[in-house]
Structure 1
Amino acid sequence: MKPEHAPPAAPSLTYPPARREDRVDDLHGRRVADPYRWLEDADSDETTAWSAAQDDLYAAYRERLAAGADGWSSEALTARLQELLGAGFVGAPAWRGERRFFMRREGAQEHAVVMVAEPDPQSPGQERERVLIDPVALDPAGTTTLDAWQPSKEGDLVAYQVSSGGTEESVLHILDVATGELVDGPIDRARYSPVAWVPGGEHFFYVRRLPPEQLPEDERQYHRRVWLHRVGTDASEDVEVFGAGLDMTNYYGVSLTRDGRWLIISASAGTAPRTDVWIADLTAGGLDPRSPEALASPRLVDVAVGLDADTHAWVGRDGRLYLHTDLDAPRGRLAVADPSDPGVPHWRTLVPEDAVAVLEGVAFVDAGDAAGPEGTRPEQLLVSRRRHTVSEITVHDPHTGEQLEGPAGHVALPGMGSVSGLVTRPEGGRDVWFSYTDHTTVSTVHRLDAATGDLTVWAAPPGALADVPEVRVQQLEATSKDGTTVRAIVVARADALDADGRPLAESPTILYGYGGFQISLDPAYSTSTLAWVEAGGVYVVAQLRGGGEEGEEWHRGGRRGAKQNVFDDFHAIAEQLVADGWTTPQQLACWGGSNGGLLVGAALTQRPDLFAAVVCSAPLLDMVRYQLHGLGVSWTDEYGDADVPHELDWLLGYSPYHRVVEGTEYPATLFTVFDGDTRVDPLHARKLAAALQAATSGDPESRPVLVRRETGVGHGGRALSRTVALTVEQLQFVADRTGLTARGGAGDRGAA
């Protein structure tokens, strides 16, 4: 007989029925089954009903979790994540004359805001700060995100782009900085659009897609062009400057020197690791560079076109053309040329490729007190590199490229972390600003005085810094299937390790990875990492081929026909964690999103024995049809093209949806998807979830396959409260399935 006040029994977990079609496609002579094709149609009655049933199933799981005796309560974990986020955020400054622009988020703010600091007319010598752009003021519901912003060269105007509901469909507006009033816009179809202001603020170059009525429906996300816009006029009057006849998936970059003379345009087809670059002298033929004739018809000259290389170019204040390129240098080099004669044969290497470290960025500074005029030769060259993901800054002679000898040749950073950006004043000067973060340090802006070498904190986050657990960060090495050494960063509580840094006991562990698009997973402050480690878990970040951690060769070693290397690397790290006593397969979870969702989808279908739980967020999973949805066609250079027979074989070799085997005991899996996602369609998660639920021999009570669906958000930015809520549920799922109880020492503060 039940006690009088016993809690109600937790609901059982039963998978909703999903119709399995006998659909087999003949693709280049390969018979490819697709039993859940119908789930691609999000708006059909059948898919809507299936999704609602999955919502109910996940709600039942959450009810069971809340009824359990162990684990984090949602309230406790939410409070701890908010505490860890309480410092907020501050970004490096963008200087325009006497004004500086920067981003800041107070601890409890849903979105970061754009701030402007300027001389205070009421207090000579003092600054005043004010909010310039606040997404919540634009949309109190918090579903509008700020995608990009760019001040004019004089700092009088700001172009900014916002989108709603997670769609990332940016709309461009122009704001008067002094009054806060809108003076232009909205201009739609401006997704992923850089803005290059012409001196004087009357015109700017930007990127916009062609009108949808001019295009087939399946191409309306593409066909971008570079346009010239006159502020205050209708966008229909804009002049098309560049892009006609080139690849429809091209992304364009556009920049203009401070004096308005040199226009640089770049283009890359989709996400291919190749960038074409052109330059135009807007004074050619004696033209005024601000004249409509010069702006609308630039005479573009090839800088690097048709090369299998990624190149970024700019003209410095000294009038020289600088090129950050991986041409003949997979880890990057800095070259210099005359902008009037910019072709590759005329490039001279200024800073050569390092044997190990990857070139990240450079900055030229004047060592004197006053900013020099245009044409002034710089006095120092700062070079930022990443050595096995850890940042370093060195100091060089700007004319020879030679690193200065002794301590003068190095900038002593606060720790083994990540540097982002090397920011200088457009007009020159002795100061450089950059952001620094590591696993326990919130991103903070530092200022380097290049004349003295002094490094100081310029801007700390505005909120209170939370106490963080005492952790140790170390590097793990593993040998992948083909013999390649791969690395991972292991973060664990110091009191869980012996004097040599070895684990005292096996622990619930999260293995996180990405492995694609040359993206590097560098050291950074992470609230989810700290909360997990504080509670007694181990958090591991894998540095896989396909990423950018070791340069372009590392990237190419994990793309296209070599994509399986990425998964082999991931499995090797997981096996090494078990072999070294960090964890067991019963306590090991893997976690990834987007391309990282593909990674963990491959892991769960290729090595279901190795993981107890999987968090698969906004994933790519049907690699046969991925290019038909979202922005998929722009990723064929990374994965391969299913319309090419031998490339289809690459994709079929690892496509998670096509690797599901009936009767296999799959790990507990949580798919998190977002209805506003226009990059990776949620259909991928729906199809694999249905396939796994039908095929797995695992008990839904212990190894559930679940879908967490969220509306009003998409693939990218989101409100802080939504980020916290998602992280809470993901961490609770992993803790529940790996046995983390959030007890002991520092972990008590997160205990239920």
Structure 2
Amino acid sequence: MAVRLFAVSVMLMSAAAAVAAPIAYPATKTGPEVEARHGISVPDPYRWLEADVRTEPQVANWVESQNQVTMGYLAGLPKREAIRQRLTELYNFERFGLPRVRGGVQFFTRNSGLQNQSVLYVQAPGAEPRVLIDPNPWAKDGATALAEWQPSEDGKLLVYAVQDGGTDWRTLKLRDVATGQDLPDVIEWVKSSAIAWKKHGSGFYYSRFPEQAGPKYLGVSLNQKLYFHKLGTPQSADTLIFETPEHPKRGHFGQVTDDGRWLLIITAEGTDDRYEVRIADIAKGEKPRALVTGLDHDWSLAGSNGDMLYFRTNKDAPRGRIVAMNALTGAITEVVGQGPATLNSASLLGNRLVAETLEDAKSVVRLYALDGKPLGVVPLPGIGTAGGFESSEDGKTYFGFSSFATPASIWRYDAASNQVELVRQAKVAFNPADYTVSQIFYASKDGTKVPMFVAHRKDLDLSKPHPTLLYSYGGFNISQTPGFSVSRLVWMEMGGVFALANIRGGGEYGKAWHDGGRLLNKQNVFDDFIAAGEALVAKGITTKGQLAIQGGSNGGLLVGAVTNQRPDLFAAALPAVGVMDMLRYANWTAGRYWVDDYGDVTKPEFFRYNLAYSPYHNVKSGKDYPAILVTTADTDDRVVPGHSFKYAAALQAAKIGDKPHLIRIETRAGHGSGKPTDKIIAEAADLWAFAGYWTGLTK
């Protein structure tokens, strides 16, 4: 026994020594390229890393060498395996997606616990659920996923999307619900598309891009068109419904109202919830005609009642209101005016309107008559986030609810009686009563008050500081609200504090909050996040040496930017799939949509402004940086991995201290959706082992 303990001790000492030793990073060659615009020439020595890792051998070799160093380092971190085991235990719980009911038949997803992909079930009235689609056998590595799906109105057919290796590209297929067999129909070149069935199941509307001659995972997305697919015909015979060849950056998707009468065509050019709306009476075979012109405001359909369409809009209401629009004349009548809370969405349930609002980033759902008369508040199970409320003609629907320490639950809702009924409650192997959540407000650099949620174990001794993980996003009008996460639970279970800052750029307080953190106001986002870290330190919740930061996508940009601006404030940084090159972001795939938030660098003011905070361009030698673990994936065709590759290369080349500056590159994965459960667990274990070590949580 003594020999075994001695061997374990030597192994742990060796691992600790490996973690503490200076890292020999792989050599990364540099090139002479520059980004030259507006009289400014900016060196871009790692541009060669923008090439597709799947087709460019030198980039593939770089990725392999980086992963070897990173995985070798992570293997030496204490408690990494214990964290992975605990994550696996907690992930092993039954979870369900929100049901959709069509023709009296219920469709829902279920994961038994550790299945890599959730399974789609169908359940007829009075019958037991049966498997309709199980994507788990589709790929040995579990990385081919069932993405979007939509049943026909009568529940007899299902359109479903196949997502391979995390890409945003989709292949649409059709399945007969009764037999479980696929029909011969197959549709390709689909991305960012809604699926809208024509009534009586004769076919459906979808959006697609032209077939690309160049690299599929890097090419800019242009000329999206709306088509109608008639069942039993080849894609080549599909009917073109709408396009704007004179405006190739515009995209279009279709919606069909619940009664099947109206086709709505929603047109957008960026990400800023600014739409044009066209409409056609399907039964009359109308050609689409303009209902709302000018890409100026949000118009999100809540539902229809005869000739009247109900929309959530921010026209003349920065926090949102509900209006009724006559589909024949375009005349608008206000139904629910703007209130103090932010109107997130609205849906028509029978002869009632449900309004999902955010009040200080917490869900409050209100019920109204069609004339706008308030009918009460929907009874939610607590303080947290509610979502769903799919519109329906019979007034019945489902919604989901969760909070930081409350696993997702599914509720049936009847708008006529304003009653809710618990349908399913996820059961995770922990006690929610052992955790507590509070909300604090802090002042940003310019004095703006910003809310922040703070969650931890109730028994934590708050008389002393603790390792803390600070997370945020800060962009694209996306609100950060309380939600359950197994990985965050493990961080808190280990004794860490989790904080979520509702910084500007999001939609928590409506359009003004979003506008305050985009374009030439983007620095406010970074100031808000830095102030959040300073507030956590000032309140004694944590210290600079115990504070880790995390963010993904636009949040990865956030983490990269604040790390450059305030490297002294953080002990560890976890930027994931980040937008790191703010001068060339629009050159690939979906990047050109982001001009709404980041600005057009072909204009001098945005080129100069973006250059000042771009993470890749502002890594500065001479300062001690925190430990950094960059994460990305080889099939991310939304924020292409070249962003993270170039940023990691710049970090490793700079003289920024001896802490590790590593990149972890997942294979057969993308921006996040469709990632198999085993990859999610493995990545989370690595992140927590890394951040835990450098904040003192796992030393």
**Shorter-chain TM-score tier:** over 0.9
Which among 444, 449, 454 is matched to residue 480 of structure 1? 444
Amino acid at match of 1:302: A
Which among 308, 313, 325 is matched to residue 296 of structure 2? 308
- After the TM superposition, which residues 203-218 of structure 1 pair with which residues of structure 2 at under 5 Å, given as runs? 203-213=203-213
TM-score scaled by length of structure 1: 0.87
Which among 534, 550, 554 is matched to residue 595 of structure 1? 554
Q: Secondary structure of 1:627's partner?
A: helix
Separation in structure 1 between the aligned mates of residue 34 and residue 393 of structure 2, nearest angstrom: 63
Q: Percent identity?
A: 37
TM-score scaled by length of structure 2: 0.93
Amino acid at match of 1:390: K
Structure 1 unpaired stretches of 5+:
120-125, 288-293, 366-377, 498-502, 743-752
- What residue is the counterpart of 2:334 in the other structure? 349
Are 1:184 and 2:184 counterparts? yes
- What residue is the counterpart of 1:81 in the other structure? 87
The change in CA–CA distance for 1:228 and 1:707 in structure 2 (over 3 A counts) is same
- What residue is the counterpart of 1:738 in the other structure? 695
Shift of residue 25, structure 1, vs aligned partner: 3.8
Greater shift in the superposed pair: 721-730 or 16-25: 16-25
Considering only aligned residues, what root-mean-square deviation do their CA atoms show, in Å? Answer: 2.3
- What residue is the counterpart of 1:748 in the other structure? none
Separation in structure 2 between the aligned mates of residue 300 and residue 234 of structure 1, nearest angstrom: 24
- What residue is the counterpart of 2:347 in the other structure? 362
Separation in structure 1 between the aligned mates of residue 618 and residue 292 of structure 2, nearest angstrom: 41
Cα displacement string for residues 484-531 of structure 1 (whole angstroms, at most 9, x for unaligned residues):
11111111221225xxxxx32111011101111111111111112111
Shift of residue 455, structure 1, vs aligned partner: 2.3
- What residue is the counterpart of 2:72 in the other structure? 60
Greater shift in the superposed pair: 80-89 or 620-629: 80-89
- What residue is the counterpart of 1:677 in the other structure? 636
Shift of residue 127, structure 1, vs aligned partner: 2.3
The change in CA–CA distance for 1:315 and 1:24 in structure 2 (over 3 A counts) is closer
Shift of residue 105, structure 1, vs aligned partner: 1.5
- What residue is the counterpart of 1:370 in the other structure? none
**8 Å Cα contact 1:358/1:387 also seen in 2:** no
Q: Secondary structure of 1:173's partner?
A: strand
Q: Secondary structure of 2:464's partner?
A: coil
- What residue is the counterpart of 1:47 in the other structure? 59
- What residue is the counterpart of 1:160 in the other structure? 160
Shift of residue 362, structure 1, vs aligned partner: 2.9
Shift of residue 246, structure 1, vs aligned partner: 4.9
- What residue is the counterpart of 2:384 in the other structure? 417
The change in CA–CA distance for 1:509 and 1:299 in structure 2 (over 3 A counts) is same
Q: Secondary structure of 1:677's partner?
A: coil
**8 Å Cα contact 1:664/1:695 also seen in 2:** no
**8 Å Cα contact 1:672/1:709 also seen in 2:** yes
Are 1:496 and 2:467 counterparts? no
Q: Secondary structure of 2:389's partner?
A: strand
Separation in structure 1 between the aligned mates of residue 481 and residue 264 of structure 2, nearest angstrom: 30
Separation in structure 2 between the aligned mates of residue 22 and residue 265 of structure 1, nearest angstrom: 47
**8 Å Cα contact 1:364/1:398 also seen in 2:** no
Are 1:328 and 2:316 counterparts? yes
**8 Å Cα contact 2:186/2:234 also seen in 1:** no
The change in CA–CA distance for 1:275 and 1:635 in structure 2 (over 3 A counts) is same
- What residue is the counterpart of 1:441 in the other structure? 406
Shift of residue 45, structure 1, vs aligned partner: 4.8
Structure 2 unpaired stretches of 5+:
none
Q: Secondary structure of 1:188's partner?
A: strand
Cα displacement string for residues 617-648 of structure 1 (whole angstroms, at most 9, x for unaligned residues):
11111111111123212212210122111111
Greater shift in the superposed pair: 207-216 or 604-613: 207-216
Shift of residue 87, structure 1, vs aligned partner: 2.8
The change in CA–CA distance for 1:217 and 1:18 in structure 2 (over 3 A counts) is closer
Separation in structure 1 between the aligned mates of residue 401 and residue 71 of structure 2, nearest angstrom: 40
Which among 99, 102, 105 is matched to residue 99 of structure 1? 105
The change in CA–CA distance for 1:218 and 1:575 in structure 2 (over 3 A counts) is closer
Cα displacement string for residues 190-223 of structure 1 (whole angstroms, at most 9, x for unaligned residues):
1122111112212211111123259999756332
Separation in structure 2 between the aligned mates of residue 450 and residue 270 of structure 1, nearest angstrom: 34
Q: Secondary structure of 1:571's partner?
A: helix
Shift of residue 535, structure 1, vs aligned partner: 1.1
- What residue is the counterpart of 2:40 in the other structure? 30
**8 Å Cα contact 2:80/2:685 also seen in 1:** no
- After the TM superposition, which residues 667-746 of structure 1 pair with which residues of structure 2 at under 5 Å, given as runs? 667-699=626-658, 703-717=659-673, 718-741=675-698
Separation in structure 1 between the aligned mates of residue 416 and residue 280 of structure 2, nearest angstrom: 34
Q: Secondary structure of 1:80's partner?
A: helix
Amino acid at match of 1:721: D
**8 Å Cα contact 2:551/2:559 also seen in 1:** yes
**8 Å Cα contact 2:407/2:428 also seen in 1:** no
Amino acid at match of 1:729: D
Q: Secondary structure of 2:76's partner?
A: helix
Q: Secondary structure of 1:142's partner?
A: coil
Amino acid at match of 1:60: G
Q: Secondary structure of 2:142's partner?
A: coil
State the number of aligned residues: 685
The change in CA–CA distance for 1:640 and 1:415 in structure 2 (over 3 A counts) is same
Separation in structure 2 between the aligned mates of residue 256 and residue 64 of structure 1, nearest angstrom: 55
- What residue is the counterpart of 1:373 in the other structure? none
Greater shift in the superposed pair: 433-442 or 211-220: 211-220
